[in-house]
Structure formats: structure tokens, C-alpha cells
Amino acid sequence: MNGKAKQQINQWYHAYSQDLFQYIFYLIRDHDQAKDLLQDTFLKAYNKHDSFNQENTKGWLFRIARNVTIDYVRKHHPVSYLMDTLPANQNSDNTPEKHLALSESEQELYYALGQLKRSYRDVIVLRKIKDFTVSETAEILGWKEQKVRVTLSRAIQALKQQLKKEGYQHEAL
């Protein structure tokens, strides 16, 4: 790999690492492991740089991050993977200061999102939190655009039901 490719990967890291970290963290809710998976994402991007078509860098990196995270869960938490859930390590890096930094509604939303099945979490995080377009989300998830639209609609309904079940009432829902 040439120096230009290394420089480009470094630029991508500075541009996208925070968003990718948050995405991975939403999926597994383990701070230390999310950092490791972020590094694995960029290592894989570095190794696959020559095959990248240079069209949608952010989408390509998110797809790598998603696949790296799913591979990790499949390998280290096979029961969670088979049950279509990701591990919920609620105690990792959950200091009182960080816990208080989240507003009550953010905590409720975060918890409810964590209770949804993986495909629902994926589409909500990518479309509503990370603001990817339908086509970008479809590319990242390897789905058709129609599946993204339908799944997002169902995911929002499931999130509303989960929040209601937890007793959270908000007129924006």
C-alpha cells in the first residue's frame, strides 16, 4: 500500500471515526469493545482500500463497521446473535458522571432502542440518528431501498411501543 492510501485512511479516520464509534457503540453498548471494533474497521478499510470504488466513503466505512461488529457478536456472543440481539453490557464505562450527562429522555430512548431487534436498531440509527439517506442506508445494510423504508416504519412503531411499555409519554412520538 502506498503512502497516499495511508494518508487517505488517516483522513477518513479523522473525518468519520466519531460517527463510526457511536454507531458501533449503539450496537453493542460496550465502550472498550467499540473502540477495538472501530480500529478493526479502519484496519479492514486499509486492507481493502485498493478494491474501494471511491464513491461513498462514509457509507462504505459504515458497512465495514456493521460487518465487523456482527462478526464479533457472532464469534463472541453466539446466543445473542442467534436470538437477533446484541449484548447489552450496561456496566461498561457507565460512571455516575456519564450517566448524569444523559438527560432522562435520552436514557429512556437509549434503553428502548437497545431492546429492539438488530435490524430495527440498525435502520433507526443509520436513518434517524446518523442521517443517512434511504439509498445510503440500503447500501450499508445490503438491502433494497424499499426494505429500508418498510423496516424503518416498523422500527419506529416498535420503538414507540417499547417506550410506551416503559411508561414514557411524549407527544413527538
Question: How far, CA to CA in Å, does 65 sit from each of 70, 81, 106, 141, 156?
Answer: 9, 16, 24, 11, 23
Which of residues 55 and 155 earns the better pLDDT score? Answer: 155
- pLDDT of res. 4: 80
Domains and CATH numbers, the chain: 1-92 (1.10.1740.10), 95-173 (1.10.10.10)
122-140 per-position pLDDT tens digit: 999 899 888 899 999 999 9
56-113 per-position pLDDT tens digit: 899 999 999 999 998 888 777 654 544 444 444 444 444 444 444 455 666 677 788 8
Which residues, including other chains, have CB under 8 Å from residue 22's CB and lie 6 or more apart?
A: 129, 130
- Range name among 11-20, 107-116, 120-129, 143-152 with the lowest pLDDT average: 107-116
Q: In the predicted model, what is the mean pLDDT of the chain?
A: 81
State the burial class of residue 14 (Cβ atoms within 10 Å of its Cβ: 0-12, 13-18, 19+): exposed
Residue with cell 433494497: 144
- pLDDT of res. 68: 95
DSSP character for 51?
Answer: G
- pLDDT of res. 171: 44
